[in-house]
Amino acid sequence: MSQTLTVKVKLLPTKEQIQLLKQSSSEYIKVINTLIAEMVEEKKSTKKTTKGVFANLPSAVKNQAIKDAKSVFSTKVKKSKYAIIPILKKPVCVWNNQNYSFDFTHISIPFMVEGKSNRVKIRALLIDKNNRNFDLLKHKLGTLRVTKNSGKWVAQISVTIPTTEKTGTRILGVDLGLKVPAVAITDDEKVCFFGNGRENKYIKRKFRSVRKKLGKKKKVNAIRNLNDKEQRWMKDKDHKVSREIVHFAVENKISVIRLEQLTNIRQTTRTSRKNEKNLHTWSFYRLSTFIAYKANLVGIKVEYVNPAYTSQTCPKCSERNKAQDRQYKCQCGFEKHRDIVGAMNIRYATVVDGNSQSA
């Protein structure tokens, strides 16, 4: 088991280095676009090697471009039966792990300078909140991808982290919700509540009212900034809750976390985040991805279960009841705080095939 992550590094190139980055990245996407067009024409993968590819790039970089083009051809073009033929526009250049080095202050990469491959050291700034990236970079580094994001050059270093899957059978059921962002229950009935739904609701309402005022004054930029701020705030909350859940799981020697499989994710991406329900599905989706990602890092498996009736079914006798107030009651005598019932059922519900969210 292993997991691949990307660490972002800000680049601070000199004027000359910016020219090199511009030149190399435009050459790089040109090679890829040309090769893809050729492969589409011939309806088969290319057999070209670096000798057959003419570009002002070090041969290792050319090699990487051939590899990338082949992979795009097989995973996108062929898979879509030639319906999708991607054309790269955004400047990008990729170096494999044998061709660059990073010492936390500089990235050293080869460029073509006057017809020769030459190593150039570019000042790099590791954006690191809680030393997480610093720790990640101690693992084996993968490819280095340099690109331009909102006018700034950034490096994306892929890192592969080995994880050892936990053995054992202890399961944690986790139910996500609005009133209580997350409820977890272990095999031995240990319950834990995460996050603060009331506070979230209050803050969201505050954002909404400021947005309304700005809307009346038609302050478009201010609204955009406010939306970004709200997104960041929600993301931080999800990071915190997911971190706490995984911590709770580790403390309780859990080997499997079970979450509800979310449906209709496809329709709820960026384009249709308008209605409340879609927004909620979207935020549950993000929290559940964060949980899965953090759990995998510590070797805890995440399984997705069928969400049908998880809040209505009696965990003791399987009868379906609708909770009338804060307390869930069943004729069989079972009685529990309604927010816990979902997690109890998720814990032992049917696991959905594929074991991943259908994003």
Min dist CB 317 to Zn ion, Å, is 3
Q: How many CB atoms lie within 10 A of CB 232?
A: 10
CB of 65 closer than 8 Å to CB of 55 = yes
Q: Which of residues 43-62 bind Zn ion (CB under 5 A)?
A: none
Min dist CB 336 to Zn ion, Å, is 10
Minimum CB distance to Zn ion smaller for 292 or for 314: 314
Distant-in-sequence, close-in-space partners of 126: CB < 8 Å, separation ≥ 6:
7, 9, 10, 104, 133, 134, 137
- Report the residue from 57, 172, 302, 330 that binds Zn ion according to the rule CB under 5 A: 330
Question: Using CA atoms, how far apart are residues 125 and 155, in angstroms rounded to an integer?
Answer: 10
Min dist CB 303 to Zn ion, Å, is 25
- Report the residue from 12, 178, 332, 359 that binds Zn ion according to the rule CB under 5 A: 332
Instruction: Tell me which stretch binds Zn ion (CB under 5 A): 25-33, 213-221, 252-260, 334-342.
Output: 334-342
Min dist CB 330 to Zn ion, Å, is 3
DSSP bridge pairs for 155: 9, 146
DSSP bridge pairs for 301: 256
Minimum CB distance to Zn ion smaller for 42 or for 319: 319
Write each residue from 299 to 318 as x if it is in contact with Zn ion (CB under 5 A), else as -, in one continuous string: ---------------x-xx-
| Chain Cα centroid distance, residue 202 | 27
Min dist CB 4 to Zn ion, Å, is 45
Minimum CB distance to Zn ion smaller for 44 or for 316: 316
The alpha carbon torsion through 320, 321, 326, 327 (nearest 10 deg) reads -80
Instruction: Tell me which stretch binds Zn ion (CB under 5 A): 136-144, 156-164, 246-254, 332-340.
Output: 332-340
Instruction: Tell me which stretch binds Zn ion (CB under 5 A): 41-49, 64-72, 201-209, 319-327.
Output: 319-327
Residue at 260: amino acid letter = E
User: What is the H or E stretch that residue 135 is in?
Assistant: helix 132-136
Could you tell me where the DSSP H helices lie in 217-337? Answer: 220-251, 276-297
Question: Using CA atoms, how far apart are residues 70 and 274, in angstroms rounded to an integer?
Answer: 38
- Report the residue from 135, 236, 251, 319 that binds Zn ion according to the rule CB under 5 A: 319
| Structure-token pair, residue 36 | 């893809």
Minimum CB distance to Zn ion smaller for 185 or for 300: 185
Min dist CB 319 to Zn ion, Å, is 5
Min dist CB 184 to Zn ion, Å, is 22
Identify the burial level of 57 via C-beta atoms within 10 angstroms of its C-beta, where 0-12 means exposed, 13-18 middle and 19 or more buried. Answer: buried
DSSP bridge pairs for 126: 9
| Structure-token pair, residue 248 | 């709770």
Count the residues of the shown chain that bind Zn ion, applying the rule CB under 5 A: 7
CB of 317 closer than 8 Å to CB of 358 = no
Minimum CB distance to Zn ion smaller for 159 or for 185: 185
Minimum CB distance to Zn ion smaller for 16 or for 335: 335
Question: Using CA atoms, how far apart are residues 27 and 92, in angstroms rounded to an integer?
Answer: 9
- Report the residue from 137, 143, 334, 338 that binds Zn ion according to the rule CB under 5 A: 334
Minimum CB distance to Zn ion smaller for 285 or for 328: 328
Phi–psi pair at 160, nearest 5 degrees = -105, 125
Min dist CB 321 to Zn ion, Å, is 7
Instruction: Tell me which stretch binds Zn ion (CB under 5 A): 196-204, 249-257, 329-337, 340-348.
Output: 329-337
Minimum CB distance to Zn ion smaller for 21 or for 330: 330
Applying CB under 5 A, which residues contact Zn ion?
A: 314, 316-317, 319, 330, 332, 334
